[in-house]
Amino acid sequence: MRHIDVHTHLAPQSLWRAFQSGEDWHGMGYEAQGEAEFIVGNGKRILINSPKLRYTPEERLAEMDEEGTDVQVVSIHTPLFPYHWDTGAAIQMSKEVNDEIAGMTKKWPGRFAGLATLPVQDVGASIEELERAVNVLGLKGAELDMVANSANWDEPHFLPLFKAAESLDALLFFHPQPQDNMVALGKTLKYGLPNSVGVVMEDALLVATLIYSGILDECPNLKVCIAHGGGGACFGMGRLDHGWMVRSEARVNITRPPSAYQKQIYYDFLTSSEAGLRFLIDSVGADRVVIGSDWPFVGWDPSPGGWLEGLQSLSQEEKEKISWRNLEALLGI
Amino acid sequence: MRSIDIHAHLTPQCFWRATEGSGEWHTLKRQQDARGREILVAGDRRGQLPPKSSWTPEQRLADMDSLGVDMHVVSPYAGFYNYEMDVGIAAATSRESNDEISQMMKSWPDRFAGLATLPMQDVSAAVAELERVMVQLGFKGAMIDDKINDKLLDEPEYMPFWKAAEQLGAVILFHQGGDTIVDQRIKRYHLPNSVGNLADRTLTFASLVFGGVMDACPDLRICLSHGGGYACYGVGRMDRGWQRIPETDRLAAEPPSAYLDRFYYDCIVYTEQSLRYLIDAVGIDRVVFGTDWPYDMAQDWPVSWILSMDSLTQEEKEAILWKNLEGLLGL
């Protein structure tokens, strides 16, 4: 069975090359502290939490061969999102990273596809870069955070970006930052909760925000995929429906109950349990679920595709759709 | 077949009486908005008081009869936590609303049981009030917020509270009050409630487990309202987070999923599919009947909702509607 993985992270080689020559990378520097290593700058201190973040494309391919992944859809490691940077630097970095990913997809066209990084603090520049990434570089869309600095995606000034993505037939893959999310904003940094709990809440909130915002009605052909199976969104969908029924502020933009919109969205299969994945499929349909492994951060047994194939509660047809058919059709690969 | 509701709020009559005209109830006031709806004014905080919240116990009983609910385990309105206020005010409002619930229990012992509200900003005052209501007034426990002025309940300063609750056999029901974690992000579309309540409950589950409270207090009885939020669905990721913590730093001896059946969960998840998932994840003996009376987010026709489900056995329906709470609370 073919395996296409929509959720794989990349810290660009340009960053590691800069560090190796003792240089900064767009204002980010390297720092070691005991055994821990960090990427530091632009107001952030990012732990290098996997040695595989340094992998060259060749090393990445070797591991893909080992785990039987045919295609990785590559996107930037989300703590490197440049939304809070100086706009000029963010535009420059986005172009550089998108060029690097495009280079991988050109050299190994059967093995890599790419999602762009966008300087979303400037919507006009983001649209321009998305057009270049899709039309010139051949990338499949873009990866976006849950918020653009403190602005939610339902704010009207982002609508042109969604319209552009829709007309470019570009996929928007939403992925939260593992640390800088609402749990960390609430200053609950202990026990790794921003990652283990915050990510699930962020994904669920984003699904709810996209649905209630009316963007899915404004852009009926927009292709959206949410990481981590959409967090708890499908499990909590009944509460969103009830809120829509009893609260007028929940109905300002949409005419149907939220659950009617959840099948307009794609979700990766990273629900962390077979029961969770089964629930997601039963909620949104097997046509809307795709492999997303969170490479290189999750240790799959035996591999992302192997895990899927070994599940008892999924039919062969469901496995084929999730493993490759859906992404093949969605991305044309 | 009985039905016992653990998630039913009370805005006490003493508040309504004291705030008649322009009166105050321990600095709390009441006003009407442009549509004539009653609004609680508590310092800078505002809370909407739905029409049923002013109902007398007799009116409440008539509504319970119409819904087929035999018993309310009554807890005070979450707008009266008053944790951000002077502890004297919170202690006074707690005592007075707890006393009113106690009166309801005395007048209709087979219709009302009680969960107290406590001045949690002062742990010793909270423990004292919990002891009073448990020992003197025959309460079943208390309802508290997911955070006490931004602190989660795994902070060491709350350990005496957890120890006292464990010793007293008190059931602690978690229910948000004021802002949820979503408020800081977005206030539109009712999201602070419809996602925020679930997010706050998930954080409570995680912090009590990761923080070692469930290990330190093995007999603690905690009920998470709103089905525990995303806890049962998102616990797989918590397990991976727990595995990443070096063994010597772990405060929880087992992965979070091993603690799912240490908590109780009310059944307000709105879909049969989600309720079935919750039952399968935490065990049928851990799911209890709760309706969120008298708010707009309450489950509509809650008893018939449970009874109508095809995917639950008769035994499971009875466990949820009354047997589990009968056993847990000794009713």
> Do B73 and B329 contact (CB within 8 A), yes or no?
yes
Q: Do A200 and B188 touch (CB under 8 A)?
A: no
Question: Which residues face A289 on adjacent strands?
Answer: A267
DSSP state of B20: S
Q: State the nearest Cα–Cα gap between A21 and chain B, in angstroms.
A: 32
Q: Which of A204, A237, A272 sits opposite B237 (nearest CB)?
A: A272
pLDDT digits (tens, 9 = 90+) for B166-215: 999 999 999 999 999 999 999 999 999 999 999 999 999 999 999 999 99
Tens-digit pLDDT profile for residues A84-139: 999 999 999 999 999 999 999 999 999 999 999 999 999 999 999 999 999 999 99
Work out the average pLDDT over B45-63.
96
Decide if the complex's ipTM is over 0.85: yes
User: Which residues, numbered 17 to 46 in chain B, qualify as contacts with chain A under a Cβ-Cβ cut-off of 8 Å?
Assistant: none
- In this predicted structure, what is the pLDDT of residue A74? 98
Question: What number is the average pLDDT over the span A172-179?
Answer: 95
Query: What CA dihedral angle connects A283, A284, A286 and A290, to 10 degrees?
Result: -120
Residues of A in contact with B184 (CB under 8 A): 182, 185-186
Angle, helix B231-244 to helix B272-282, in steps of 10 degrees: 40
Q: For chain A, say whether B297 makes contact (Cβ under 8 Å).
A: yes
- Option in A186, A231, A240 nearest B184 (CB): A186
pLDDT band at B82 (very low <50, low <70, confident <90, very high): very high
Q: Is the pLDDT of residue A187 over 80?
A: no
Among A190, A235, A271, the strongest candidate for a mutation testing the B interface, having the largest count of B CBs within 10 A, is: A235
Min Cα separation A212/chain B (Å): 7
Query: A188 or A246: which carries more pLDDT confidence?
Result: A246
Beta strands A44-47 and A36-41: pairing type?
antiparallel
Whether omega before A296 lies within 30 degrees of 0, making that bond cis, reads: yes
Interface of A with B in 235-294 (CB under 8 A): 235-243, 246-247, 249-250, 252-253, 271-273, 275-276, 279, 282-283
Does residue A155 belong to the interface with chain B, where contact is any CB pair within 8 Å?
Answer: no
- pLDDT, tens only, B303-315: 999 999 999 999 9
Contact B195/A236, CB-based, under 8 Å?
yes
> Would you state the structure tokens that stand for residue A18, as one six-digit string?
């800069």
pLDDT of residue B30: 96
Q: Do B241 and A212 touch (CB under 8 A)?
A: no
How close is the nearest chain A Cα to the Cα of B192, in Å? Answer: 10
Of B185, B189, B241, the CB nearest to A195: B241
A20: exposed, middle or buried (C-beta count within 10 Å: 0-12, 13-18, 19+)?
A: exposed
**3-state per-residue secondary structure call for chain A:** CCCEEEEEEECCHHHHHHHHCCCCECCEEEEEECCEEEEEECCEEEECCCHHHHCCHHHHHHHHHHHCCCEEEEEECHHHCCCCCCHHHHHHHHHHHHHHHHHHHHHCCCCEEEEECCCCCCHHHHHHHHHHHHHHCCCCEEEECCEECCEECCCHHHHHHHHHHHHHCCEEEECCCCCCCHHHHCCCCHHHHHHHHHHHHHHHHHHHHHHHHCHHHHCCCCEEEECHHHCCCCCCHHHHHHHHHHCHHHCCCCCCCHHHCHHHCEEECCCCCHHHHHHHHHHHCHHHEEECCCECCCCCCCCHHHHHHCCCCCCHHHHHHHHHHHHHHHHCC
- Could you tell me whether strands A71-76 and A4-10 are parallel, antiparallel, or unpaired per DSSP bridges? parallel
CB-based contact B182 A209, cutoff 8 Å? no
Q: B323 φ, ψ to 5°?
A: -60, -45
Please, what is the end-to-end C-alpha distance for chain B in angstroms?
14
Amino acid at A97: V
Residues 7-66 of chain A with CB under 8 A from chain B are: none
pTM of the entire predicted model: 0.97
Q: How far apart, in whole angstroms, are the C-alpha atoms of residue A236 and residue A256?
A: 17
Q: Count chain A–chain B contacts defined by CB atoms under 8 A.
A: 170
Q: What is the pLDDT of residues B133-153, one digit of tens each?
A: 999 999 999 999 999 998 999
pLDDT score at A189 = 77
Closest chain B residue to A238, measured at CA: B270
**What is the percentage of chain A residues whose pLDDT exceeds 70?**
99
